[in-house]
Every structure is written in C-alpha cells, then in structure tokens.
Structure 1
C-alpha cells in the first residue's frame, strides 16, 4: 500500500515542491540568454527567444531588431541588470521584473511576460519598459 501511495503522489505532484522555482529559473534563463545574445551581436539568436505571437507581429529579423533598437534600447544594450519581482501566473506564464541601467546611464524597469511553449521552453511574449526612479540596481 505505501508503494501505491507513493506512485499516486508522484502522479499528482510530478515536479516536486520546487516546481515553481524551477519554472521561474527557466524563464529567467530565457531573458538572460536573450540579453547575452544581444550583447554578443547574435541578433538572430536573440530573435529566437521571442514567442510566436511576437514573431507574427515582427516576421523578419530586421523588423524585430528595428523595434528593439528603436523602442527598447536599454534592453538591447544594458550596462547592468538584476532580476526584481517575479510572479508565476499558473497559466504557463511568468511575469518578471528586470531592473537595468541603460547605455545612457539611466535606470529603467522592464517587465517581461514569458509563456511556456508546447515543448516546455520559455519564450518572451512581451516587454514593457519605463524609466525608473531607483537610485541603484
């Protein structure tokens, strides 16, 4: 009987107690990997982290990069950054705050929305960016 209970628990809770933390870390890795791709000039690699909906709106690398370098320059080339608040939405989405310093030396807050893909990977669904009143990151 204890074996059946153990199997039942595994079926009900297949990811263990740290599933939320693992999902959040995976989503944060997606953000970091995109930032690293931008920093190294691998724009095609950075585009690969965009969710299908973003790729539909920006169907070419050129249109995507035009949007990023035009409206999201601090995200494209941050001097430094750190993760802030995070919330797992429970619907296959994670909302992650990123505090960063842009090339211009000003502080910004970017809020990323990531969605889990059918293959289990995380892709960036959207980013909002605003100037921040933070003194330091």
Structure 2
C-alpha cells in the first residue's frame, strides 16, 4: 500500500467517522456541560492539547493526540500536519479561542464532543470531535469542521 493510499484512508476516516458517530450518538441523550460534567470530561484535555499544538505549529504535539489510525496512516508528524492543513482545517489552527459545547457518550470508550471556535477572521466555526480511549488515553479519531453563521468577538 502506498503512502498516498494510506493518507486517503486516514482522511476518509477523518471525514467519514464523524457523520457515522453523529448518527450513532443521536440515540443517546445529549449532556449539557455543568461543573460536574466538566470535571468528568477528561477528553477535553486531549482536544485542547491538540488545538494548542496546531496553533503553535507543533506537528509532533498535534500528532501525539491523534488516534492510532493516524499514526499508522502517516509516515511522520510533519506529513500529518501538512495533510490536515491542506484538508481545510486551518480555521482550527488559526482560531483565536475555543469553547466546549455538549457531548454525547457513544459508549464507555467513545465520545462525540462539540467545540466552537472563533477564527482569526472573527468567523464562527463548530467542530464535532470523535474521541476514543486507546491504551488508557483519549485520542482524536476524527473531526468534522463546519462554518457557522455570525461573527465572534
């Protein structure tokens, strides 16, 4: 299998996993963040860590938070980083801020988390993160980014 094929598979996972996860997650009740929920959402540290690594232009740091499928599909953190930038995820990297919305547990090892972004251009974006536990740590399995109406301040 060529590197290009592996990249295509990994991007298919990025783009395809979130809609499947959304369909699965719709059966579960949404959990609105509260103080106790915030304390019980350890995957948020993974999301924030990867966002901060992207903002810092740190390929190794961003790759560290990616799921094993990405580690198998990309030959290096730099290749992962370049591919993510080229696939339309620059608004995450260039965002001024992010905040967490509701989340849904798909099962004990998988979560869908909404994250809202204010872009460098003041545009609003929302991302659905699919996260899973791998070897005791939460890892990003896929992200679906959508532009929203309105402006952020």
TM-score range with shorter-chain normalisation?
A: 0.7 to 0.9
Structure 2 equivalent of residue 133 of structure 1 = 149
Provide the aligned C-alpha RMSD in A. Answer: 2.2
Equivalent runs, 1:1-137 vs 2, <5 Å = 21=37, 25-70=41-86, 71-118=88-135, 120-136=136-152
Structure 2 equivalent of residue 8 of structure 1 = none
Give the secondary-structure state (helix, strand or coil) at the position aligned to 2:65: coil
Structure 1: distance between partners of 2:114 and 2:81: 22
Structure 2: runs of 5 or more not aligned: 1-35
Per-residue deviation, residues 73-119 of structure 1 (Å, max 9, x unmatched): 0111211111111111114011001110222321111110000012x
Structure 1: distance between partners of 2:51 and 2:129: 12
Structure 1 stretch displaced more, 22-31 or 47-56: 22-31
The answer to whether the Cα contact below 8 Å between 2:55 and 2:93 also exists between their aligned partners in 1 is yes
Give the secondary-structure state (helix, strand or coil) at the position aligned to 1:100: strand
Structure 1: distance between partners of 2:112 and 2:39: 11
Q: What number of residue pairs does the alignment pair up? A: 117
TM-score by length of structure 2 reads: 0.68
Shift in alpha-carbon separation, 1:107–1:26, aligned structure 2, 3 A: same
TM-score by length of structure 1 reads: 0.75
